[in-house]
Amino acid sequence: MKQLIIINGPNLNLLGKREPEMYGNETFEDYLKTLQSKFKDINIDYYQSNIEGELIDKLQDIGFSYDGIILNAAAYTHTSVGIGDAVKAINTPVVEVHISNTFSREEFRHQSYISPHTKGVILGFGLLSYDLAIESFIL
Ligand code: DQA
């Protein structure tokens, strides 16, 4: 069975409560259940942290054994050379996702330290961005 992991960065633990007009009304824990029942033939793990170093530790831990990583590094996308380096260092392919279309938002969100090291980027489709990223590992 394929082994994927979704890794969410800072403030994504507040999905459902945080700026619902931007990020929706659903918690990620609820949405994860939808994903797990939709993709029954794939093992989908989940990890969330608000701490940059913990995200790097997780990428290092699983980045040589899993089949794919779906990474929404949230605000760290735009600031973290360290997370970008970790994505570059590991073997497991990473698909970067964002719930919102970061290119239609403030200019500082147009920069990603992660994208250059990923297999691809999916953004702007709300939580469906995660479905599309999972699909990309099935093709
Ligand atoms: C986000 C976009 C980031 O710019 C922002 O800091 C987030 C969420 C998204 O999923 O749309 O926290 O990654």
Give the CATH number for residue 48: 3.40.50.9100
pLDDT greater than 80 at residue 95: yes
Cα of 42 vs centre of ligand 1, distance in Å, is 26
> How many separate domains does the chain show?
1
pLDDT greater than 80 at residue 84: yes
Domain assignment of residue 82, given as a range: 2-138
- CB-based contacts of 65: which residues, under 8 Å, 6+ apart? 3, 92
pLDDT greater than 80 at residue 51: yes
Work out the average pLDDT over 9-29. 93
pLDDT tens column, 28-43: 999 999 999 999 999 9
pLDDT greater than 90 at residue 96: yes
Instruction: Out of 21, 100, 108, 132, give the residue to mutate to test ligand 1, the one with the largest number of ligand atoms within 8 Å of its CB.
Output: 100
- Does the reported pTM lie above 0.85? yes
Whether 98 is a known active-site residue: answer yes
pLDDT greater than 90 at residue 139: no
Work out the average pLDDT over 58-71. 98
**Calpha distance 102→48 (Å, rounded):** 20
Ligand 1 close to Cβ of residue 50 (< 6 A): no
Please name the residue whose Cα sits nearest to atom 1 of ligand 1.
74
Confidence of residue 114 (pLDDT cuts 50, 70, 90): very high
SS3 assignment, position 47: strand
SS3 assignment, position 96: strand
Looking at residue 93, its pLDDT comes to 98
Across the chain, mean pLDDT equals 97
Looking at residue 33, its pLDDT comes to 97
